[in-house]
Chains A and B, each alone.
Chain A
Amino acid sequence: MQYTVDKNGYYGQFGGAYVPEMLFPNVEELETQYLAICQSAEFQAEFAALLRDYVGRPTPLYLARRLSERYRTQVYLKREDLNHTGAHKINNTIGQILLAKRLGKRRIIAETGAGQHGVATATVCALMGLPCVVYMGEVDMARQRPNVERMRMLGAEVRPATSGSRTLKDATNEAIRDWINHPDDTHYIIGSVVGPHPYPDMVARFQSVISQEVRQQLAAQTGRELPDYVLACVGGGSNAAGAFYHFLDEPGVQLIGLEAAGQGVDTGHSAATTVLGRPGILHGSKSLLMQTPDGQVVEPYSISAGLDYPGIGPLHAHLFTSGRALFCPITDEEAMQAGLLCSRLEGIIPAIETAHAFAYLEKLNAQPHETVVICCSGRGDKDLQTYINWLDGQPVGH
Chain B
Amino acid sequence: MQTSVAPNRLADLLAQKTNLLNIYFTAGYPRLTDTVPILESLARAGADVIEIGMPYSDPLADGPTIQQSSQQAIDNGMTLRLLFEQLRGIRARVQTPLILMGYLNPVLQFGIEAFCQAAAEVGVDGLILPDLPLAEYETEYRPVFQRYGLSNIFLITPQTSEARIRRIDALSDSFIYLVSSASTTGAKAGLTTEQLAYFERIRAMQLRTPQLIGFGIADHASFARACAYAHGAIIGSAFIKLLAASQNLPADIERFVRDVKGA
Q: Please report A residues at the B interface, Cβ cutoff 8 Å.
A: 8, 16-22, 24-26, 163-164, 169, 173, 176-177, 180-184, 278-284, 289, 291, 293-297
Contacts and interface: CB of A to CB of B under 8 A. Distances in A.
A177 B79 CA distance: 24
Given A18-B132, A284-B131, A297 B58 contact: yes
B106 A296 contact: yes
Given A20-B131, A282-B105, A177 B160 contact: no
Interface string B47-59: 0000000001110
A295 B159 contact: no
Given A21-B154, A22-B179, A293-B109, A163 B104 contact: no
Contacts of A180: 60-61, 182-184
Interface in B156-196: 156-157, 159-161, 164, 179, 182-184, 187
Contacts of B154: 21
A232 B104 CA distance: 31
Interface in B53-92: 56-58, 60-61, 63-64, 67, 71, 74, 79-81
Given A177-B60, A183-B159, A21 B182 contact: no
Given A181-B183, A282-B58, A18 B79 contact: no
Contact of A177 (B63, B71, B107, B135): B63
B109 A18 contact: no
Nearest 4 CB-CB pairings of A with B: A295-B106, A295-B109, A21-B155, A20-B130
B136 interface: yes
Contact of A169 (B58, B61, B103, B187): B58
Contact of B105 (A25, A183, A280): A280
Contact of A18 (B104, B106, B179, B182): B104
Given A17-B133, A297-B58, A22 B109 contact: no
Contacts of B104: 18, 281
A20 B58 CA distance: 13
Contacts of B107: 295
B128 to A, nearest CB: 10
Given A181-B182, A280-B109, A296-B74, A22 B61 contact: yes
A16 B133 contact: yes
Contacts of B156: 21
Question: Which of A21, A25, A26, A279 counts the most chain B CB atoms within 10 A?
Answer: A21
A19 B104 CA distance: 10
Contacts of A289: 105
A281 B60 contact: no
Contacts of B161: 25
B131 A22 contact: no
B60 A280 contact: no
Candidate in B56, B57, B106, B107 with the most chain A CB atoms within 10 angstroms:
B57
Nearest to B107: A295
Interface in B124-161: 130-133, 135-136, 154-157, 159-161
B108 interface: yes
Contacts of B81: 294
A20 B155 contact: yes
A18 B133 contact: yes
B205 to A, nearest CB: 16
Interface in B234-251: none
A183 B157 CA distance: 11
A351 B80 CA distance: 41
A24 B132 CA distance: 11
Query: Max chain B CB contacts within 10 Å: which of A19, A164, A281, A291?
Result: A281
Best-surrounded residue of A22, A184, A289 (most CB of chain B within 10 A):
A22
Given A169-B58, A295-B106, A297-B57, A24 B184 contact: no
